């Protein structure tokens, strides 16, 4: 029973060791800044309660339970903040940076010898785009064997690691467009990091052609090159992946971006047809013309001024909604070039009504022009009749195969009828007598 009680006390103490620091540090916030390539990292702590008349120190350990063996003066403080620099020139620090991904910072009031911030976990990982002295290089870049003309990697060197590399083409258009935007503005490529990959390849690695840097400590910077001349044959934007296999230190992954993009060809103008018509039940596709035709950026947006009349999708396909007119506008990605087309939506075609109407019109036309003669049936035929052409297979004015006029035939029939009537009356009177 006594052993169980002692075990419970030990477990409770361990729990307190991990939980209490997190509770006491709950109001503190920290941001990380890696501003140099010597392995140094700056941490900005906020939410502290400090006395500016006091001096403060910090300790840096690789584990939360490790006791601080050496304290370092904090030179940048306010009443609520402290900035701590983990220098890449300090082997105590670099041994921790190259060993673990999370370190622990403790802050002490030196004046009163009081801990004001219990061990606080800080991120020691290096962003992939920041592991070397280069973030971006152009295809065709040449490297040398001197440190100033080589790729440099702080803390990892020829004594404690072995370097590998490989290329991967970037196919994400969002990444490429963002890169072009930053490049055009001479901006900070670190802002691109959130869009880039954060998982390294698992195979296909090749060893660097040259790797140097000695000193037997983690404060020594390694330098060398993957290839003395970067020569990618296919155009595009690439990751040059870098992998440092550590010897008694952690492995390191990252990349340099290799720019082999085609030169930018500026867009001068966009054009569309001025007007177009679409039936209510029809479809229409607008195709813009870019000037010059080989302009680099052909990304555009489409809008309709009245979507109750017609809508347009990102490919320029028009879908009519009701009879009326709307203006379709196409705009370049930078918003500087535009073109418009007025779309008129007309009533949909009704084939039955159209055919009936055509027949009636034909009949009316023939009745007016041909004095009641026989209707010839189709619109095409109506056209032929109006040009005065005769149908040689149809009799006009005489009975078929007799050559006798209609009027003469009628007269003969009338005379025969009178004769028969007169004869019958004569016979009737004769019988009476």
Sequence-ordered strand ranges (E) for 280-332: 284-285, 289-291, 300-304, 310-312, 317-320, 324-332
Alpha helices by DSSP H, listed for 305-350, are: none
Strand order through the sheet with 222-225: 151-153, 222-225, 210-212
The residues, ordered by sequence, that sit 6+ positions from 226 with a Cβ below 8 Å of its Cβ are 151, 163, 165, 206, 208, 209, 240, 242
Q: What is the DSSP letter of 261?
A: P
**Cα(245)–Cα(261) distance, integer angstroms:** 31
- Cβ atoms within 10 A of the Cβ of 73, count? 9
What confidence tens digit (pLDDT) does each residue in 335-393 have? Answer: 999 999 999 999 987 655 444 444 434 334 333 333 333 333 333 333 333 334 444 44
Model pLDDT, residue 220: 84
pLDDT of residue 362: 38
Query: b/e string for 12-46 if b means 16 or more Cβ within 10 A?
Result: eeeeeeeeebeeebeebebeeebeebebbbbbebe
pLDDT in tens, 37-54: 778 999 999 999 999 999
The interaxial angle of helices 351-369 and 379-386, nearest 10 deg, is 20
Q: Measure the CA–CA gap between 37 and 24, rounded to whole angstroms.
A: 34
CA 45 from chain center: how many Å? Answer: 37
**Is the Cβ–Cβ distance between 105 and 59 less than 8 Å?**
yes
Domains of the chain: 24-123 (2.60.40), 128-260 (no CATH), 269-346 (2.60.40.1080)
Give the Cα separation of 301 and 316 in Å (integer). Answer: 9
Direct distance between the N- and C-terminal alpha carbons of the chain, in angstroms, rounded to an integer: 164
104/82 Cα distance (integer angstroms): 15
Extract the tokens encoding 229.
């001349």
Q: Note the Cα 368 to chain centre separation in Å.
A: 66
pLDDT for 140 equals: 97
Low-confidence ranges of the chain (pLDDT < 50): 18-19, 21-23, 353-403
Predicted pLDDT at 418:
73
List C-alpha distances in Å: 413 to 152, 407, 408: 123, 10, 9
Distance CA 90, CA 210 (A): 26
Q: Tell me, what DSSP letter sits at residue 129?
A: G
DSSP assignment string, 344-399: EEEPPP-HHHHHHHHHHHHHHHHHHHTTTPPP--SHHHHHHHHTT---TTS-SSB-
Q: Structure pTM?
A: 0.62
Cβ atoms of 225 and 153 closer than 8 Å: no
| Nearest alpha-carbon partner for 200 in 232, 164, 161 | 164
Cβ–Cβ < 8 Å for 135, 129: yes
Positive or negative, the CA dihedral 91, 92, 95, 97 is: negative
Closest CA to 150 of 66, 266, 228: 228
């Amino acid at each position: 029973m006594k052993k169980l009680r002692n075990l419970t006390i030990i477990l409770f103490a361990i729990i307190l060791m991990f939980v209490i620091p997190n509770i006491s540090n709950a109001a503190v916030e920290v941001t990380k800044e890696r501003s140099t390539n010597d392995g140094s990292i700056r941490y900005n702590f906020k939410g502290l309660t400090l006395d500016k008349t006091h001096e403060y120190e910090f300790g840096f350990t690789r584990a939360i339970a490790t006791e601080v063996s050496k304290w370092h003066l904090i030179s940048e403080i306010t009443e609520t903040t402290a900035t701590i620099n983990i220098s890449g020139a300090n082997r105590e620090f670099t041994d921790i940076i190259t060993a673990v991904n999370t370190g622990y910072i403790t802050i002490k009031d030196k004046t009163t010898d009081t801990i004001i911030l219990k061990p606080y976990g800080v991120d020691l990982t290096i962003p992939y785009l920041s592991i070397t002295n280069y973030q971006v290089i152009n295809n065709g870049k040449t490297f040398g064997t001197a440190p100033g003309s080589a790729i440099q990697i702080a803390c990892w060197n020829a004594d404690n690691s072995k370097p590998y590399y490989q290329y991967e083409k970037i196919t994400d258009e969002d990444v490429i467009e963002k890169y072009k935007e930053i490049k055009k503005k001479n901006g900070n490529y670190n802002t691109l990091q959130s869009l880039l990959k954060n998982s390294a390849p698992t195979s296909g690695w090749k060893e660097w052609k040259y790797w140097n840097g000695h000193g037997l400590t983690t404060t020594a910077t390694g330098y060398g090159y993957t290839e003395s001349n970067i020569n990618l044959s296919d155009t595009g934007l690439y990751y040059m992946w870098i992998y440092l296999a550590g010897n008694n230190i952690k492995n390191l992954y990252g990349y340099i971006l290799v720019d082999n993009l085609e030169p930018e060809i500026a867009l001068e103008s966009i054009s569309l047809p001025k007007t177009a018509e679409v039936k209510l039940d029809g479809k229409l596709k607008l195709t813009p013309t870019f000037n010059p035709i080989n302009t680099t950026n052909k990304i555009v947006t489409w809008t309709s001024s009245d979507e109750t009349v017609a809508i347009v999708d990102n490919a320029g396909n028009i879908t009519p909604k009701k009879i009326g007119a709307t203006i379709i506008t196409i705009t370049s990605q930078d918003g500087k070039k535009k073109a418009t087309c007025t779309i008129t939506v007309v009533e949909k075609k009704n084939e039955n009504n159209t055919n009936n109407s055509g027949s009636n019109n034909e009949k009316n036309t023939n009745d007016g022009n041909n004095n009641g003669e026989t209707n010839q049936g189709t619109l095409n035929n109506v056209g032929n009749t109006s040009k005065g052409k005769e149908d040689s297979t149809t009799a006009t004015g005489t009975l078929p195969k007799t050559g006798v006029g209609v009027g003469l035939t009628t007269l003969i029939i009338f005379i025969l009828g009178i004769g028969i009537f007169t004869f019958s009356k004569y016979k009737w009177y004769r019988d009476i007598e």
